[in-house]
Amino acid sequence: MKKTAPRRLSQIVMRVAPILTAAVLVGCASTGTSFPPAPATAPASDYTYIIGAGDSVNIIVWRNPELSTSVPVRPDGKIATSLVDELPAQGKTPTQLARDIEQALSKYVRDPIVTVLVTGFVGPYSQQIRVVGEAAQPQALPFKSKMTLLDVMIQVGGLTDFAAGNSATILRTSEGATKQYSVRLTDLIKRGDVSANVEMLPGDILIIPQSFF
């Protein structure tokens, strides 16, 4: 395992700690009742990818190959290309970033036409899927359209031997208010019950508790 893995995991925990605290309070206020099951399908939406720090973007300037390049989005969310310095990219769609680059290049190039393609996907923290608790490899994952719970569990390597999979929950903040739903990970992964599979949404936090039995 890379030496940076513990640091990355600690950063993920620090970012989700306030939300997890809220989840515990919601659970305590529920007077012992279980959380409702997660909806099998996510609400229909015109999801558009948002660029985040750590992404790689391919910038194509029509008829100006010397200005076309691939650059990473720096940790501060900005990019730097030929003739363009310190341009914010994080939080924008590829189309929005392309228009901003065109505006910056218009000082040097007549009527520039720019296309931006994202080639390395990380995404902003607000849209990542976070998995905490008894997963084999707890981590943050870039969200993908139509991503399911099964897709997430494959990427984190499944459950540990100490996981209470059927007591896992999804903490969801993308529906206008923080909601918590129950999911059946043991049924899904160890028993092959596909009815336990559900669609994920950007920003979901999957919480897998430890079994005490």
Which of the listed residues 65, 97, 120 is the one where a domain comes to its end? 120
pLDDT tens for each residue of the chain, 213 residues long: 444 444 554 554 455 555 544 444 444 333 334 899 999 998 877 789 999 999 999 999 999 999 999 999 999 999 999 899 899 999 999 999 999 999 999 999 999 999 999 999 999 999 999 999 999 999 999 999 999 999 999 999 999 999 999 999 999 988 778 999 999 999 999 999 999 999 999 999 999 999 986
Tokens coding 30: 């529920």
- This prediction has a pTM of 0.79
- What is d(CA 66, CA 192) in angstroms, rounded to the nearest whole number? 53
- How many structural domains compose the chain? 2
DSSP letter, residue 128: -
The answer to whether 125 and 140 are in contact (CB under 8 A) is: yes
- What is d(CA 123, CA 48) in angstroms, rounded to the nearest whole number? 11
Q: Return the CATH number at 102.
A: 3.30.1950.10
Name the nearest CA neighbour of 211 among 185, 192, 177: 185
Regarding whether 134 and 115 lie in a shared domain, the answer is no
Regarding whether 75 and 9 lie in a shared domain, the answer is no
Name the nearest CA neighbour of 209 among 175, 160, 174, 173: 160
Regarding whether 94 and 30 lie in a shared domain, the answer is no
Regarding whether 66 and 98 lie in a shared domain, the answer is yes
Regarding whether 86 and 114 lie in a shared domain, the answer is yes
Domain span at 29: 4-46+125-208
18 Cβ contact partners less than 8 Å away, ≥ 6 residues apart:
none
DSSP letter, residue 208: E
Q: Return the CATH number at 132.
A: 3.10.560.10
What residue spans of the chain are helical by DSSP H? 4-29, 94-105, 149-155, 185-190
Segment (H or E) for 141: strand 139-141
213 found inside a domain: no
